[in-house]
Amino acid sequence: MNFTTPPRPFDVTALFPQLAPLARTATRLHPRPGSPTVHESSVGGPLLWPADEPWPYCDRPHDSRAEPPVVHTPDDVRLLRRDRAAAAERRRLDPEAPQWAPEERATWERLANRPWFDGPIALLPVAQLYARDVPFPRPPGADLLQVLWCPFDHETAHPRTALFWRSSATVTDVLDARPEPPVVQRDCYLPEPCLFSPERVTEYPDPLELDEELQDQLEDESRWESIDPALYSAYADDPGELYLNNLSTAPGWKTGGWTRWSLTDPRPRPCPECETEQVPLLTLASSEWDGGSGTWIAEEDPADLSPPPLGARDGRFTLIDIVGGYNLQLHVCPADPSHPHIELVQ
C-alpha cells in the first residue's frame, strides 16, 4: 500500500525564503500490522541475523521495585492483544455485547501475576531497515540496520536500544529460532509486527532551532496575511503553532529529517565518541499522528478509525508506547555512523 501525505497547506519558503536552505528530506515509514519476513524492512519482525552470531542480551540491572510491578511474557501480550481485537470486533458487530467475555476476563486475571525475572534479558527486535527501501546514514558497506531493545526501563525510563549494521549479502545462513525475553516490563514494549510503506516528505527545523530574527518573523501575524485562513483555520490566530504543527516536522515513524522537540528545548547532541553533532536516524513513535498533527494524516488513512484494528487508535499501529505517547528518536554520528548513538525522548 502507498501512503500519501497531503501537500502542506502552502509553500512556507515563499513566505520565508531563509527556510529554503534548511529543508531536509525525511522518510515517513507508515508502519501497519503485517507479517514481515527476514528479507523485509519491518517493525518487530524477524531479523536477518547470522546463525553463527550470538544473540544479544541485556545484563544491566532491572529494578523490580519500579512501576509497574506487573510483567508479562511476550506470549501473554500476544494473547491479550488477540482478545482485545476480538472484543473490539464483537462490539462493532453488536454494540450491546459485553465488553469482555468471561473467558477473556479469566485470561487477564491469570496473566496478571507473572514472577519478576532476574538475569540477562534477550533483546527484542524493534526495527529492521534495508537501505534499498529506506534511506538512512550508514557506515560504508552496510545496507541493513537492525534496532533491538531491552524491554525494561533503564536509567532513562524507557527501553535501551542497541544498533547493528550489516551487509545483507554476507548473511547467508540465517538464524531461524531467536531467543525471546522471558518477560517484558510493559506490554507496550513488545512491538506489534508491522510492514513499512516509505514516503519522502520535506521538513524544516523546530522554530526554537531557528535564529531569533526568523523566529520573530514566524510569530509576526502580518507576515502571514497573504495566506487564506481557510487553509489553516484551526490555528489562524497563532502562526507559531501553525508552523510547528503543520509545516516543520512530520509526526510518526520516520528516518532522517529534523529532530522533533516537545519535552525539552533544543539542545546539542554531540557524538559521545568524536563530538560531531549527531543527526536524526530513526524515530520510534508512539503514534502516527496526534491532535496537533492532523494535517499529516495520509490520504489513504480512514478519517474514522473505529473500530481500531488491534486496538490501534490515533494512529497507534505498532502498539509501542514511549513514556506515555512520546517519541524515541535515535540519532547517529554523520562522521561515522558506527559510533555510539544517542537516544532522545521528545
Contacts to Zn ion by CB under 5 A? 58, 60, 150, 152, 271, 273-274, 276, 333, 335, 339
Distance of CA 198 to the CA centre of its chain: 13
Judged by CB, which is closer to Zn ion: 58, or 111?
58
Judged by CB, which is closer to Zn ion: 17, or 119?
119
Judged by CB, which is closer to Zn ion: 254, or 341?
341
74-93 vs 102-111: helix crossing angle, rounded to 10: 160
Shortest distance, position 121 Cβ to Zn ion, whole Å: 5
Judged by CB, which is closer to Zn ion: 44, or 137?
137
Shortest distance, position 60 Cβ to Zn ion, whole Å: 5
Judged by CB, which is closer to Zn ion: 114, or 339?
339
Judged by CB, which is closer to Zn ion: 91, or 339?
339
Shortest distance, position 287 Cβ to Zn ion, whole Å: 25
Provide the CB-side half-sphere exposure for 154 (13 A, CA): 11
Taking the C-alpha atoms of residue 56 and residue 179, their distance in angstroms, rounded to an integer, is 9
Shortest distance, position 62 Cβ to Zn ion, whole Å: 6
Taking the C-alpha atoms of residue 86 and residue 78, their distance in angstroms, rounded to an integer, is 12
Alpha-carbon distances of 342 from 25, 28, 162, 271, rounded to whole Å: 20, 20, 10, 7
Q: How many helices (H) and strands (E) does the chain have?
A: 5, 14
Alpha-carbon distances of 105 from 45, 93, 108, rounded to whole Å: 29, 20, 5
Shortest distance, position 156 Cβ to Zn ion, whole Å: 11
Taking the C-alpha atoms of residue 56 and residue 166, their distance in angstroms, rounded to an integer, is 15
Alpha-carbon distances of 264 from 122, 152, 267, rounded to whole Å: 32, 23, 8
Contacts 24+ apart (CB under 8 A), 229-233: 231/9, 231/10, 232/9
Taking the C-alpha atoms of residue 128 and residue 56, their distance in angstroms, rounded to an integer, is 15
Q: Which one-letter DSSP state was computed for residue 340?
A: P
Judged by CB, which is closer to Zn ion: 58, or 87?
58
Shortest distance, position 330 Cβ to Zn ion, whole Å: 14
Judged by CB, which is closer to Zn ion: 107, or 276?
276
Shortest distance, position 337 Cβ to Zn ion, whole Å: 8
Q: Which one-letter DSSP state was computed for residue 323?
A: T
Shortest distance, position 150 Cβ to Zn ion, whole Å: 3
